[in-house]
Amino acid sequence: MTTPRIRYGGDYNPEQWPREVWEEDYAAFDLAAIDTLTVGVFGWAHVQPAEDSYDFTTLDAIVERAVAGGRSIVLATPTGAMPPWLSHEYPEVNRTDFEGRRHSYGQRHNHCPSAPAYQRFSAAIAERIAARYAGTPGLIAWHVANEYGGPDGSCYCESCAAAFRVWLRTRYGTLDALNQAWNTMFWSHLFTAWEQIVPPNALSEHWRGPNHTAFQGITLDYRRFMSDALLANFVAEKEQIRRHDATTPVTTNFMGPFRPIDYHRWAPHLDLATWDNYPPGRRQEVRMAFSHALMRGLRGGSPFWVMEQTPTITASRDVNSVKRPGVLGLWSWQAVAHGADAVLYFQMRQSQGACEKYHGAVLDHAGRTDTRAFREIAELGAQLTDLGDAVLGARTPARTAVIFDWDSWWTTEMTDGFNRHVSYLAVVLGYYGALWRANAAVDVVPCTADLSDYDVVLAPALHVVKGDIADRLRAVVERGGTVLTSFWAGRADESARAFLMDAPGPFGDVFGVRVEETDSAGPGEDNSVTLELQTERLTAPASLVFEVLVPEGAEVVGTYDDDFYAGRAAVTRHRVGLGEAWYIGTDLGAAGLDRIVRQVLERHDLVGPHPDDPDLEVVDRIGERGHIRFLLDHAATTVEIQRLDPDSSPTTLLRTSAGFRT
Ligand code: GLA
Ligand code: ZN
């Protein structure tokens, strides 16, 4: 297993079963061409059974056996789950929840990020592990903790309150600036001492849960603070690792579009982006493609890893269906197509007890290798070996970008006065889906990204306007590009204060439009929009939000069909120089979005291959070793991989059905 290839393997916790079983595991790993094992995740209690005692016997044996056959390891620090002694001796490490209840010992991913004891002991155990295992042959990455965040990603304890005040002092300097930002003249909230500020939760600014806050500015800052506080835990462990190992990449496994943590704030601190792909249903190809692009976008388009996916079923859902024949291969190749250089599982062998004992694994409780699932796993291993290094390090160049913004996500979903049925992620996925169906190559980027290489930039519902984003969108249009945004864009500044101007605020002059009224309706109370596009006139369903637009330089492309604003503008296009700026004031369904997005892409010749087959996804990776095309048919569950040679017809590298080569 020395030839470079897409890494294949996953989370392996053999400390949970007897040694005799280990050899059975390894025999099966050989059958499936498994070359990479993630070890050490959640091993804190056996490595440090008490505050002053360490025992590396088990981890030594695991590491030694794992690398023995020339395999690689990803070595985790164990801090994703706390040992009982830590929680018992230092109750401050237990999180205080949204209702203000200090939790007692249990579960995982639930430490208080501001607790001095957690900070001290997590950094110390990371240091011990780094000191012991740095330089181990086959160690290819460090994996810090696990899926930072936990249930709602937040703690509301006294330590966090104190740390929040420090964070606020750094951000605002003075209480005057803070009062301005939070608009505290409202409801008599003028703060006159830092100590008066408390975390926004069910006991303070919130009612009806985390999305209902009296002060969006406070809650928005608390979310940023909490994301930064957890990041500080990661950085503290990384610093300890770096004392002993200057070069091996350090990562932690993300969760794609996970609301509690702003991964864009974390991105500069990662050496490698990795994420866990557990789609919430059977046909989730658009969401998965989007998530891969979002994760790839964290590191400027560099390849990322799928750190976890289940080979068969998950255990945490109400209904846990198996992956149908071929789906494992299809979804794994989809990840590779979008830039994954590793496809790893959770987990290599099923746990014997506790809540994940029925979670799928490469090996089931009986250790069978003659099952359908194992055969597909082994077949995928063989296919990855065949592909070799053809795409390793290769990029997925795109001239189209979608802007994704955690601040806009948080703010739109906690803002009163709009429509609680609208989900920011669903809106963005709606636009991304239209691009996906056109097989356009797309990057998903933060609003701070350099936009100068994109011809098309979609910024749906970009509610919070930060930095010079308005100028940079204008620059795209001025040099002939196309930008597009939607309802709710440009409404709030970075403290969630409304602009004292027409919506879409600072975006108004780029889009040449203003919003006169914002109507909302419940699910099912639809309207429709008549669109006059370049080549056709059509009526497209519209729902949830209906902004009545007044063109100020823009031309009207779509008008509402019903209600008192029938005939008024719903969709506009502003031509500026050689470029165009589209504004879509309503939640247009796929029918309307597909047509608009197609027209935008056509203008720049960015429609991808086979745009008229709604189930066929086509993705290219281009690198030093050439141009590889992936054709993923999500209805037929087939994969075809081709090498596109400059002067001849494509060579087929792989064609599958039901996961097997045909
Ligand atoms: C997450 C965790 C794993 C495991 C899986 C189960 O991704 O990182 O430890 O719990 O979910 O799906
Ligand atoms: Zn806390």
pLDDT for residue 69: 87
For residue 70, is it left (φ>0), alpha (ψ between -120 and 50) or beta? Answer: left
DSSP states along 3-56: S---EEEEE--GGGS-HHHHHHHHHHHHHTT--EEEE-TT-HHHH-SBTTB---
User: Over the chain, what is the mean pLDDT?
Assistant: 97
pLDDT digits (tens, 9 = 90+) for 269-279: 999 999 999 99
Residue nearest atom 2 of ligand 1, based on CA coordinates: 147
Residues 400-603, CATH architecture: 3-Layer(aba) Sandwich (3.40)
Rounded to whole angstroms, the Cα distance separating 460 from 520 reads: 17
Ligand in closest contact with the CA of 163: 2
Q: Which of 92, 147, 379, 640 is catalytic?
A: 147
Question: Where along the chain do the CATH 3.40.50.880 domains lie?
Answer: 400-603
β-pair partners for 50:
53
State if residue 599 touches ligand 1 by the CB under 6 angstroms criterion: no
pLDDT digits (tens, 9 = 90+) for 386-432: 999 999 999 999 999 999 999 999 999 999 999 999 999 999 999 99
CB–CB of 153/222 below 8 Å? Answer: no
CB–CB of 525/590 below 8 Å? Answer: no
State if residue 146 touches ligand 1 by the CB under 6 angstroms criterion: yes
State if residue 311 touches ligand 1 by the CB under 6 angstroms criterion: no
For residue 31, is it left (φ>0), alpha (ψ between -120 and 50) or beta? Answer: alpha
Q: For residue 646, name the pLDDT band (cuts at 50, 70, 90).
A: confident
β-pair partners for 573:
555, 582
Q: Which of 92, 308, 547, 580 is catalytic?
A: 308
pLDDT for residue 312: 97
pLDDT digits (tens, 9 = 90+) for 499-519: 999 999 999 999 999 999 999
CB–CB of 369/25 below 8 Å? Answer: no
pLDDT digits (tens, 9 = 90+) for 322-345: 999 999 999 999 999 999 999 999
State if residue 359 touches ligand 1 by the CB under 6 angstroms criterion: yes
Question: Where along the chain do the CATH 3.20.20.80 domains lie?
Answer: 7-154+234-387
pLDDT digits (tens, 9 = 90+) for 251-260: 999 999 999 9
pLDDT digits (tens, 9 = 90+) for 436-494: 999 999 999 999 999 999 999 999 999 999 999 999 999 999 999 999 999 999 999 99
State if residue 276 touches ligand 1 by the CB under 6 angstroms criterion: yes
Ligand in closest contact with the CA of 149: 1
Residue nearest atom 10 of ligand 1, based on CA coordinates: 356
Rounded to whole angstroms, the Cα distance separating 363 from 348 reads: 6
- 346 C-alpha to center of ligand 1: Å? 7
Which two structure tokens, joined as six digits, stand for 360? 């799928």
Rounded to whole angstroms, the Cα distance separating 140 from 73 reads: 6
pLDDT for residue 152: 83
Residue nearest atom 7 of ligand 1, based on CA coordinates: 276
State if residue 147 touches ligand 1 by the CB under 6 angstroms criterion: yes
What is the topology classification, in CATH, of domain 7-154+234-387? Answer: TIM Barrel (3.20.20)
Mean pLDDT of 630-654: 96
Nearest residue to 153 via CA among 269, 253, 83, 258: 258
Please tell me whether residue 336 adopts helix, strand or coil conformation: helix
Helices (H), 277-324: 285-296
DSSP states along 386-438: HHTTSSTT-B---SEEEE--HHHHHHHHT-TTS-TT--HHHHHHHHHHHHHHT
Q: For residue 2, name the pLDDT band (cuts at 50, 70, 90).
A: low
Q: Which long-range contacts (CB under 8 A, 24 or more apart) does 521-527 make?
A: 521/419, 521/546, 522/421, 523/421, 527/560, 527/561, 527/562, 527/563, 527/586
pLDDT digits (tens, 9 = 90+) for 116-158: 999 999 999 999 999 999 999 999 999 999 999 988 889 999 9
CB–CB of 504/491 below 8 Å? Answer: yes
State if residue 308 touches ligand 1 by the CB under 6 angstroms criterion: yes
Active site residue 617: no
Neighbours of 513 (CB within 10 A): 31
State if residue 251 touches ligand 1 by the CB under 6 angstroms criterion: no
Which chain residues have CB less than 5 Å from ligand 2, an ion? Answer: 112, 114, 155, 157, 159-160
Q: Name the DSSP class of 134.
A: T
Ligand in closest contact with the CA of 13: 1
- 259 C-alpha to center of ligand 1: Å? 17
% of the chain beyond a pLDDT of 70: 100
- Which atom of ligand 1 lies closest to the CA of 41? 9
Active site residue 308: yes
For residue 529, pLDDT beyond 70: yes
- Which atom of ligand 1 lies closest to the CA of 310? 12
pLDDT for residue 645: 87
CB–CB of 514/550 below 8 Å? Answer: yes
- 92 C-alpha to center of ligand 2: Å? 8
In the block, tokens 């002991």 appear at: 121
For residue 1, pLDDT beyond 60: no
pLDDT for residue 514: 98
State how far Cα 207 lies from the chain centre: 28
